[in-house]
Amino acid sequence: MEIVVCVKPVPESETRLRPTGDGRSLDPEAVKFVLAGYDESAVEQALLLKEAIPGSKVHAVAYGVAPRTEEVLRSAIALGCDAATWIDAGEETSGDPIVAARALGGLIRTLPHDLVLCGKQAGDDESGLVAAALGELLEVPEFGSVVDLRWDAATGQFRFQRSVEAGTEIWTAATPLIVGLQQAWNDPRTAKLPAILKSRKATIARATPTAAGGGRSSPERFELPPPRTGAKMIEYRTPEEAAQKLVRILREEAKVFP
Amino acid sequence: MSGTALVVAEIHAGRLAPATAEAVGVARSLGLTVIGFAAGSDAGSAAAEFGALGVTEAFAVPDPRLDTAPSGARIGSIRQALSASNATTVLTVGTALGRDLVGHLAIAWDAAAATGVTEVVATGEGFRVRRPIFGGRATETRLLAGGHFALAIRPHAFPPAAGGANPCTVRELPAGELAPGLLAARRTGVSAAAAGAGPGLTDASIVVSGGRGVRAPENFHLIEELAAALGAAVGASRAVTDAGWRPTSLQVGQTGRAVSPQLYIAVGISGAIQHLVGMISSRVIVAINSDASAPIFKVADYGIVGDLFQIVPALTAEIRRVRGL
């Protein structure tokens, strides 16, 4: 099976965020970029399927700027992906996920793709639009919020769950298929040191965006919320007193329930 | 900005989800004429419910194939409704379905797209939207421009549309031709989030979550009873779902679901960053934990340091008392 997995570099979750001088976007200076959380699951899912289906290959693709996009592809190689292609975003910094989706779609169209895996959303912009946009661009059925994607060799179909508001749905679908992954059936693996060292010398193919059509959205402002000052602690002598005080505060001060 | 907005209904258990009323409210606050849209076997009755939100016109695509087909199968009929109504904006709710539709429309309809929107105003060229990013650790403002717009709003970020008693004229549309690939993918089963059928996690205006501090699956009823007293949805930290005490669908956090209710009560949850990114944009956060130095107290608005096995039953009893349950 030919599997394409889309990945994105995002700031490490502990990173201190700070706006650029013009206040429009995140200042990438001094930020450590890593493989986005759901994308880690997507890579894990791709590798699990590769291990389960003989003759499979996993091609990692990413759209973005140097050097972090190339680096995140090296981490995908270190984890076990067979090939990687970086689409250089160059000066395009709109941060519009649809621009990224168009670039990724233009590339994936030229690659064999029985299965395209994306994280269900990236931990930075949290748009969650790329998988759906790829579905439309490549005219392939697409599912978001997928959990536990399995291949059933007997029927030649995927079987997976989808975590939606009303509960969990169970689906079957044939190839080709596009998935926005919420969770693989394993925790993402970590790369071993020899693989990391080897990935430094791996060839990352480089592409330029083929798709026309610029972004329809542009960043205007990036803001940090005022720091939370810490909880107002409720003093009490008995559990009943704690409960009464909290309920009174929630009704009268916070006004969150009638 | 003036014109028409198509509000795509989120249907839960055959009825319009509360967040759809919020989407109608947003469209109206932007000065747009609202037309409803509902798809799936319950489309007819759900579309008629738009009348209670003061919407007088709606489209229904009552094709049961849409119940078991991927989101993309709805795009054909949404585009028909868009042409028939001359709408230039689609408003939907930031659920799994709503976000899928926005992503499809960004390509199929060449729309400027945004999800998770918590504020929106009209500009000369389109809209200015604000949306929490980085799990609520930052907020971005983006300008959307062009001829078409597709927005998914974040549940609970906007007041619902005021009621009305207008009859809503429902026009039926066919689902149109569905690509073979769309029909080959099939939903074969559904398991409801909880048998008690409380509100869904992202729908709920109150969420009560339990963590490792609950200690054992047989103690989780304490969380569920508190939630029931509040009419709240039940959530869980990753420790709980990984241990199999509760299903993954209840997990709040980075690898689970992000929620932003009016009130989030974290019980026995220490507050790892992994959990915080899933709930930090809640309006009011209450933490109950035995460890006064737990990081959850840094992000909570109100905290109780104490034994949850004593505090939670007392709280449930007090809420039942004041609510007359």
A204-257 pLDDT per residue, tens: 999 999 865 568 999 999 999 877 788 999 999 999 999 999 999 998 888 887
Every domain of chain B and the residues it spans? 3-184, 206-322
Provide the pLDDT for residue A213.
59
Number of folded domains that form chain A: 2
Separation of alpha carbons A71 and B284, rounded Å? 39
Q: How many helices (H) and strands (E) does chain B have?
A: 10, 18
* Same domain (yes/no): A147, A249: no
* Same domain (yes/no): A173, A240: no
Provide the pLDDT for residue B269.
97
* Same domain (yes/no): A188, A252: no
* Same domain (yes/no): A257, A140: no
Nearest to B203 among A142, A165, A168 (CB): A165
B114 contacts chain A (CB < 8 A): yes
Whether residue B72 and residue A132 make contact (CB cut-off 8 A), yes or no, is yes
* Residue A61 in domain: yes
* Same domain (yes/no): A32, A128: yes
- Residue A91 CB burial class (10 angstroms; 0-12, 13-18, ≥19): exposed
What are the chain B neighbours of A147 within 8 Å (beta carbons)? Answer: 248
Beta bridge partners of A114: none
Separation of alpha carbons A215 and B111, rounded Å? 10
pTM of the model: 0.85
> Six-digit token pair at B155?
């549940």
* Residue A241 in domain: yes
Residue-wise pLDDT for B217-262, tens only, equals 999 999 999 999 998 999 999 999 999 999 888 899 887 888 888 8
CATH homologous superfamily of B206-322: TPP-binding domain (3.40.50.1220)
* Residue A216 in domain: no
Q: Which of residues 263-292 of B touch A (CB under 8 A)?
A: 263, 273-274, 277, 283-287
- Residue B247 CB burial class (10 angstroms; 0-12, 13-18, ≥19): middle
Q: To the nearest whole angstrom, how far is the Cα of B292 from the nearest Cα of chain A?
A: 10
Indicate the SS3 state at residue B174: coil
Query: What does each C-alpha distance from A207 to A85, A86, A202, B143, B247 come to in angstroms?
Result: 7, 6, 16, 29, 42
What are the chain A neighbours of B286 within 8 Å (beta carbons)? Answer: 246, 250
* Residue A246 in domain: yes
* Same domain (yes/no): A52, A139: yes
Residue-wise pLDDT for B289-308, tens only, equals 999 999 999 999 999 999 99
What would the mean pLDDT of B259-279 be, rounded to a whole number?
A: 91
Give the CATH number for residue A17.
3.40.50.620
B156 vs B161, higher pLDDT: B161
What are the chain B neighbours of A173 within 8 Å (beta carbons)? Answer: 70, 184-186
CATH for B3-184 is 3.40.50.620
Mean pLDDT check: name the lowest of A1-15, B116-130, B169-183: B169-183
* Same domain (yes/no): A38, A111: yes
A50 in Cβ contact with A83 (< 8 Å): no
Provide the pLDDT for residue B202.
74
How many CB atoms within 10 Å of residue B268? 28
* Same domain (yes/no): A43, A96: yes
* Same domain (yes/no): A248, A194: no
Residue-wise pLDDT for A120-162, tens only, equals 999 889 999 999 999 999 999 999 989 889 999 999 999 999 8
Indicate the SS3 state at residue B149: strand
Interface mutation target, options B10, B140, B144, chain A, most CBs of A under 10 Å: B140
The chain-wide mean pLDDT, for chain A, equals: 92
Give the whole-number percent of chain B exceeding pLDDT 70: 97
Q: What is the ipTM of this complex?
A: 0.91
DSSP per-residue letters across B224-262: HHHHHHHTPEEEE-HHHHHTTSS-GGGBBSTTSB----S
Give the whole-number percent of chain A exceeding pLDDT 70: 98
* Same domain (yes/no): A106, A178: yes
What are the chain A neighbours of B97 within 8 Å (beta carbons)? Answer: 164
By C-alpha distance, the chain A residue nearest B232 is: A257
Q: Which of residues 184-203 of B touch A (CB under 8 A)?
A: 184-194, 200-203
Strands A33-35 and A9-11: antiparallel
Beta-carbon pairs below 8 A across chains A and B: 290
Encoded amino acid at B251, one letter: Q
Separation of alpha carbons A6 and B276, rounded Å? 26
Q: What is the DSSP letter of B219?
A: G
* Same domain (yes/no): A66, A181: yes
B155 contacts chain A (CB < 8 A): no
pLDDT confidence band for B194 (50 / 70 / 90) = very low
Whether residue A247 and residue B315 make contact (CB cut-off 8 A), yes or no, is yes
Please tell me the total number of residues recorded for chain A in this structure.
Answer: 258
- Provide the residue range defining the domain that includes A239: 229-258
Whether residue B262 and residue A13 make contact (CB cut-off 8 A), yes or no, is no
Query: Do B3-184 and B206-322 fold alike per CATH?
Result: yes
Separation of alpha carbons B118 and B132, rounded Å? 7
Of A88, A178, A87, which Cα lies nearest the Cα of A134?
A178
pLDDT confidence band for B179 (50 / 70 / 90) = confident
How many CB atoms within 10 Å of residue B244? 9
Give the whole-number percent of chain B exceeding pLDDT 90: 71
Interface mutation target, options A6, A35, A130, A165, chain B, most CBs of B under 10 Å: A165
Nearest to A135 among B72, B299, B322 (CB): B72
Secondary structure element (H or E) that encloses residue B94, with its range:
none
Whether residue A147 and residue B248 make contact (CB cut-off 8 A), yes or no, is yes
Separation of alpha carbons B83 and B210, rounded Å? 47
Query: Would you say residue A97 has pLDDT above 60?
Result: yes
Of B191, B231, B193, B227, which Cα lies nearest the Cα of B210?
B227
Nearest to B182 among A141, A223, A234 (CB): A141
Separation of alpha carbons B95 and A166, rounded Å? 10
